[in-house]
Structure 1
């Protein structure tokens, strides 16, 4: 007599085991498909951080359990500006390019904390100066965000790209928005494009006008920024007029801004200014006043020179008064 005949419950027992295994496999497959769909949904919505968190917590990337905001001892030392601790960790062999799950490096943290000495130490140990977070943020962007010209200059000296791609956060736009004129100067010297146009943001000059950062506007214009180029058909002069910032309006007009340029709503800058404001009154008077010959001559000379040759003005055999005049100094 067989075992199955002797024990009629044996086959039933094995069947239940197989069904349980099949059910667990099906449930696990359902969970994975659901999480994949959820991650894809967050990627489509632009929330790549949340997608990364889901993938990291549930799929683990083969690295064991890690939390989304995991930071290494190097991150902590760099972010707090603890140079001696940072150097000791580097000497012990800690990886200076270690990343959190959202790809923040110790160099990002050092720049965000305005710790130039830590930045130098990390770079000397081989830190990647052009590393980007999951959102495309670079250490240079962080430096400009906090107005740290010292960190920005160190990064640029060691090969940081002054200009990112159009879909990445732009360092020169951030410096212009935050009023970090020294960062603007450092970026311009390193070759950043002062007319870099991001479709949904505009140019750095337009950004500075929207933020009412007069000194950044001045630095960008002296560096050769196109005074007419803003965001779509909105000129920097439209932005300054709308913000009722007369100082910036005067500065833009000195550099040749077109007072009659119309935006998509067919408004002139005077129309964009708040009604009965000082800026509106100034623009209306300016429209009716002929330009001075000296101002027109300076603009023509600068146009003929071109932005690429502005730096040669100081070498021209001219009196200092004329050189300063051509450089708006």
Structure 2
């Protein structure tokens, strides 16, 4: 009998469930504890917290997706146990009480066991109690996830430690993505979790179902600035532990492709310093530079010129000259990107017809730059720029390393490294 066919001891319309749901909604922890410890008839009772089976109510207003037949035979039903509720809420005393009365630590009528719930909530004390009472540290949920896969927050570090101490397999793959716990930690920016797993023998370059390593998974996540900082720290850890900087996924995308696709300049520089290939092409024929230029068009406020600058200073091939008008059209709102890329060519013929691809409001917003840009339609580049290009050609892929060693003022070093000035000469 499947979970959806199982008859609950306490259906969704029962008095106890109604009171329990009110207490849960009100975050009345005392009442929740009393109901699951004192009023439920037996410790492994099945409680139905939700049932969206519209077929039970012919008068129900069906959503459009049902009407068009997308979800005709599907509905959501949430079955659980007192132990799962207590573990999910972090009620250590309730968990202890239920276990002492013989509750099954691995019961999972709703697809997840109490240990899954404790890890998901980061409740270490509950997880330890469950493990001490024989909970399976590798129990798979209905989605194929082990408890380690649900250690997804910083607060769950203690849970992860407890699981490993009780024999959880650090190499376990799970879910549709076939992620290992290290993949989960990398994707979430959990460097302490990653350090723990690596210390327990996790393979730093293990692949998931999409061919991603942990480094690739971490590189492909966007997020807020503080999340980016955590993932950068984690990526540095993975690289120190021997992660391959150029590992490709099933689409032939490297971590550098992904970092550039999210305008993550700091990560791009880190990967390049560890030997990532700036000229690598994915299955679609896109280079990291192409991905960086796409990101510039989507998020000009994220300083995408830093990513472009890093790639060019590590030897990335430039855009084919005939394609520059397309770049201009796409990246017009980010003139520092246009400037950085344009300065990587010794001489690129500017056409006044390119003015048509720049929206008028963008031109007016960055008038000083675009006036200097189109002034070059009738003027060759200055000698200083030509000298810059000659030095950069000589240094090649080592520009980033060699330019700072030159006995030059910092302003000239920055000039050689394509630091934007706001106008073109």
Within 5 Å, give how 1:75-94 maps onto structure 2. 75-94=84-103
From 210, 216, 237, the equivalent of 1:206 is 216
In structure 1, the residue matched to 2:139 is 131
Within 5 Å, give how 1:1-329 maps onto structure 2. 52-56=2-6, 67=48, 68-102=77-111, 104-144=112-152, 148-165=156-173, 168-200=178-210, 202-211=212-221, 212=228, 213-232=231-250, 233-274=252-293, 277-287=305-315, 288-290=396-398
In structure 1, the residue matched to 2:361 is none
The CA distance in 2 between the partners of 1:146 and 1:185, in whole Å, is: 13
Q: Are 1:172 and 1:184, in contact at CA under 8 Å, matched by a contact in 2?
A: yes
The CA distance in 1 between the partners of 2:132 and 2:283, in whole Å, is: 51
Q: Unaligned 5+ residue runs, structure 2?
A: 9-43, 49-76, 222-227, 297-303, 316-395, 403-425
Q: CA deviation at 1:217?
A: 0.9
In structure 1, the residue matched to 2:41 is none
The CA distance in 2 between the partners of 1:234 and 1:225, in whole Å, is: 15
Stretch deviating more after TM superposition (250-259 or 65-74): 65-74
Q: Are 2:313 and 2:397, in contact at CA under 8 Å, matched by a contact in 1?
A: yes
In structure 2, the residue matched to 1:303 is none
Summarize deviations over 1:191-220 as a string: whole Å, max 9, x none.
Answer: 222212124362211111111421221121
- With normalisation by structure 2, the TM-score equals 0.52
Stretch deviating more after TM superposition (239-248 or 282-291): 282-291
Greater than 6 Å deviation, 4+ residue runs: 63-66
In structure 2, the residue matched to 1:25 is none
Q: Unaligned 5+ residue runs, structure 1?
A: 1-50, 294-329
**RMSD of aligned residue pairs (Cα, Å):** 2.7
- With normalisation by structure 1, the TM-score equals 0.66
Q: Which has the higher helix share?
A: 1
Q: CA deviation at 1:151?
A: 0.9
Structure 1's 268 and 236: CA in aligned 2 closer, same or farther, altered over 3 A?
A: same
Structure 1's 65 and 284: CA in aligned 2 closer, same or farther, altered over 3 A?
A: closer
